Amino acid sequence: MTKIEALTGVTFDLYRGECVGFVGGNGAGKSTLLRTIAGICAPTEGDVLVRDQPWLLGVQASLLPRLTGHQNIVIGLLSLGLTDEEVARFAPDVANFSNLGAALDRPFKTFSSGMRARLKFSIATVKRPSILLLDEALAVGDLNFKRRSIRRLNTLRDNATTIKMVSHNTQEIRRICDRTIWLDGGKLVRDGSTNDVIDAYEAAQNAVSALEQTQDDASAG
């Protein structure tokens, strides 16, 4: 039996309309944290309390490979707990925003990873959720779609959606988030305004790279 303490002693409050970025190395606990906030896994100690059910947009597939894009839009919207009328109302918007056109008539398994990500992003953001959790959701879309996604995220944020996003792209975080939390080894390293935290995070990353470079040079020389 393997037990991993992914997160320990992480405490913070998030406010409506805030857009918070999470940064940290691989295995720092970012995704576990988002999944815990979404209510997919339970913390062994401590508690998460929310005013509304967060929507998690992860990289893993929850759409069905054999169904067409259009059928997957319906099933995706139902999986978010929408009613029949809402599904009928929002489905065309999703198709439009995803901009996948005729490809939506093909089975989902024929989609490229970028197209899959576009469809999932379009589904999760069509209705204004009050808390939106993004796990590397913008990593695979093309440039054009990325820009439209960022515009949509800004609109959501201005309409009081709380957004939490995990990303390895610090530029992306600087553009979208006003607050950033840096996690390392399951612990909260720093929590503050994006510029301060990202500056510190990048400085630390650079220092590590520089150190490794000198070690490599030393062993090579």
Q: Where on the chain is the footprint of other proteins (CB under 8 A)?
A: 1-3, 8-18, 35, 37-54, 56, 58, 60-62, 64-67, 71, 74-75, 78-79, 81, 84, 130-131, 157-158, 160, 162, 178-179, 192-193, 195-196
In terms of CB distance, is 128 or 215 closer to other proteins?
128
28 SS3 class: coil
**Spatial CB neighbours of 86, under 8 Å, sequence gap ≥ 6:** 77, 127
Q: Nearest distance from residue 92's CB to other proteins, in Å?
A: 18
DSSP symbol at 22: E
Contact criterion met (CB below 8 Å) for 163 and 20 = yes
Q: Nearest distance from residue 51's CB to other proteins, in Å?
A: 5
Contact criterion met (CB below 8 Å) for 156 and 128 = yes
Q: Nearest distance from residue 45's CB to other proteins, in Å?
A: 4
In terms of CB distance, is 11 or 26 closer to other proteins?
11
| 162-166 β-sheet, strand order | 55-57, 131-135, 162-166, 19-23, 179-184, 187-193
In terms of CB distance, is 10 or 94 closer to other proteins?
10
Alpha helices (H) in 99-193, listed in sequence order: 113-126, 143-158, 170-176
Q: Nearest distance from residue 196's CB to other proteins, in Å?
A: 7
In terms of CB distance, is 58 or 141 closer to other proteins?
58
